[in-house]
Amino acid sequence: MNAPFSRRDFLKSAALAALGPALYGPPEISAAPSFDLVVKGGTVLDGTGAPAWQADLGIRGDTIAAVGEVDPGQGRRVLLASGLQVCPGFIDIHTHSDGEILVYPAGESRVYQGITTELTGNCGGSAAPLTGVDAEKRRRQLLEDEEIQADWTDTASYFARVEQEGISLNHAMLLGQGTLRANAIGAVDRPLSAGELQEVVRAVEEGMDQGAMGLSTGLEYVPGSYTPTEELVAMARAVARRGGLYASHIRDEGAGLLEAVNEQVEIGRLAGVRVEISHFKAAGRPNWNKQAAALSLVEAARSAGVEVLADAYPYPVYSTSLTIYLPAWAREGSEEDIVARVKDKDQRSRIRAEVEVQVHNDPGDYDLVVITRVKTDKNKPLIGKNLAEVARGWNLEPVDAVLRLLVEEQTRVEMVGYGMAPENVEMVLAHPLVMVGSDGHVMAPRGKMDQARPHPRSYGTCPRVLGYYCRERKIFDLPTAVKKMTSMPADQMGLSDRGRIARGMKADLVVFDAATVRDTATFQDPHQYPAGIGYVLVNGVPVVEQGKHTGARPGRVLRKS
């Protein structure tokens, strides 16, 4: 693996090269300093989308205390940022780090790309609350799959566990609607009774009272796919009463895209809640022509007073579980139930036919689906192969290779799908109602993740936006790119003290070189840290310094107030 970010790369500019080891150190002063840190001479992008300007920052504790001209002699330490850009820390509004943050608390894949806050619990699944139906089984699975000792029950005890661990970036969480529904009745395909719905709504209220930022749905997944719209409205109303966010992995990102977007708009209208459409896309070649119309629906909803926005990641490739190609009815119940259906002769015939239709609709064919992670050692050689290659190796039809793999791995297979049009990705990212969300999670090239080949978005999302889409493709200017990763998600989450550079804001900051910043993680070699990001501060503390992790863990759990 390459070094995360070499000193030689960072000192490329003449201004920095002259500074060398003295770039970041204590000034010689006689009087008591006014600031713990002075960031001197940087080009400030304040996160609002306004043009950049040159200014110094004075940081006291965890807060930006001065913006303007600051005497470096007033700082206990000075970071000389001449020739570099200084912006708020990036806020990743769509992540899945709920459990992984306990495995990788230093947050390497996040902080090296400038992410200082992430919102987890997306797509209907959250680490907490961990109660109710099959809770002990889920604890065992977390221990087996991720080596996570899940000793919490509710949102409060989960947050306490994260704080006890100590983390390098800020951590916030949505409640997963699928998790709450499964806690109540399991992965069962039926509407909730009036009493059960009341119980789930109470769980939303309790979780938000304990600090969750709102609610997420994963309506392509079980049990979200079994949930009628009226249940979602009832839950979203509870979120709205507490001023929270409702984020949705919508019911269909392919053939039914427009209907699925309209459902979320209607939920926003009826519940009066802020809506986030997650990883906005038109997946599958037959559906690419729906992307512009889907954006128009969001525009029309905003014009009609519905508070709806969207997020997207800067890649034409998605990542999820291979079970997504199974019909929803076949995914009901436990992993053992799913495997039993696939093995059953009569049900297998029906499943087989429906998988064929799904794969050809999205992403388009079996060679566009690549295996990234499996459970067993015997199938690890399949990582990096597409399903057509797996089928040829097994001398099977591709659909039968899918089913065999799901059986052998007890359904635990992760994949990437080459399903989106690059021009649509640009259209979505550039849209003023769309912000950036990675859909990735915290990781590092060690432990179980080192044996997988994950989507590179976990390592490269923010620098890819700045480097490829802003500098090279020029789909937006630099202030806009930064805004989509700072003030927009901060406002959507209700974070009033982050996402902007101004006096009184928290000192989450990124210092980068706009001329060289870039992602280096690829689908073939994803465990690569980006280039061009030299310094990352979280709550005023350097977590990345001259491209190296300092080991500091100043991150906090951010609770809904």
Give pLDDT tens digits for 376-386: 999 999 999 99
Q: With a cut of 70, say whether residue 11 has pLDDT above it.
A: no
Can you give the pLDDT at residue 31? 56
What percent of the chain is modeled with pLDDT above 70?
A: 94
Domain with CATH 2.30.40.10 in the chain: 1-123+148-173+437-561
Can you give the pLDDT at residue 275? 98
Q: With a cut of 70, say whether residue 7 has pLDDT above it.
A: no
Q: How confident is the model at residue 2 (pLDDT cuts 50, 70, 90)?
A: very low
Give pLDDT tens digits for 322-369: 999 999 999 999 999 999 999 999 999 999 999 999 999 999 999 999
Does 2.30.40.10 match the CATH number of domain 1-123+148-173+437-561?
yes
Q: With a cut of 60, say whether residue 391 has pLDDT above it.
A: yes
Q: How confident is the model at residue 23 (pLDDT cuts 50, 70, 90)?
A: very low
Q: How confident is the model at residue 144 (pLDDT cuts 50, 70, 90)?
A: confident
Chain mean pLDDT for the chain: 94
Q: How confident is the model at residue 561 (pLDDT cuts 50, 70, 90)?
A: confident
Summarize the confidence of residues 453-478 as an average pLDDT.
98
Top pLDDT among 561 and 120 is at 120
Summarize the confidence of residues 121-140 as an average pLDDT.
95
Can you give the pLDDT at residue 22? 32
Separation between Cα atoms, residue 67 and residue 26, nearest integer Å: 20
Separation between Cα atoms, residue 510 and residue 115, nearest integer Å: 8
Separation between Cα atoms, residue 541 and residue 558, nearest integer Å: 17
Can you give the pLDDT at residue 333? 93
Three-class SS of residue 75?
strand
Three-class SS of residue 29?
coil
Residue 343 β-bridge partners:
none
**Continuous H helices in 380-486:** 387-394, 398-408, 422-430, 457-464, 478-483
Q: With a cut of 70, say whether residue 420 has pLDDT above it.
A: yes
Please name the residues in contact with 120: beta carbons below 8 A apart, sequence gap of 6 or more: 95, 96, 97, 98, 101, 126, 127, 171, 172, 173, 174, 441
Summarize the confidence of residues 436-442 as an average pLDDT.
97
Q: How confident is the model at residue 4 (pLDDT cuts 50, 70, 90)?
A: very low
Query: What are φ and ψ of residue 214, in 5° steps?
Result: 155, -145
Can you give the pLDDT at residue 17? 32
Residue with tokens 């009272």: 209
Summarize the confidence of residues 117-141 as an average pLDDT.
96
Is 408 exposed, middle or buried, given 0-12, 13-18 or 19+ CB atoms closer than 10 A?
Answer: middle
Summarize the confidence of residues 102-123 as an average pLDDT.
98
CA atoms within 13 A of residue 439's CA, in its CB half-sphere: 27
Among 522, 254, 537, 315, residue whose Cα is nearest residue 438: 315
Domain with CATH 3.20.20.140 in the chain: 176-277+280-317
Mean pLDDT lowest among 1-15, 82-96, 277-291: 1-15
Is 14 exposed, middle or buried, given 0-12, 13-18 or 19+ CB atoms closer than 10 A?
Answer: exposed
Can you give the pLDDT at residue 33? 83
Can you give the pLDDT at residue 30? 42
Contacts 24+ apart (CB under 8 A), 289-293: 290/257, 290/258, 291/421, 291/424, 291/427, 291/428, 292/427, 293/258
Q: With a cut of 70, say whether residue 18 has pLDDT above it.
A: no
Give pLDDT tens digits for 187-239: 999 999 999 999 999 999 999 999 999 999 999 999 999 999 999 999 999 99
Residue 249 β-bridge partners:
218
Can you give the pLDDT at residue 171? 98
Q: Are 48 and 1 in contact (CB under 8 A)?
A: no
Separation between Cα atoms, residue 85 and residue 52, nearest integer Å: 9
Q: With a cut of 90, say whether residue 5 has pLDDT above it.
A: no
Question: Torsion angle of alpha carbons 452, 458, 460, 463, nearest 10°?
Answer: -170
Please name the residues in contact with 559: beta carbons below 8 A apart, sequence gap of 6 or more: 159, 172, 210, 211, 212
Give pLDDT tens digits for 40-92: 999 999 999 999 999 999 999 999 999 999 999 999 999 999 999 999 999 99
CATH T-level assignment (fold) for domain 176-277+280-317: TIM Barrel (3.20.20)
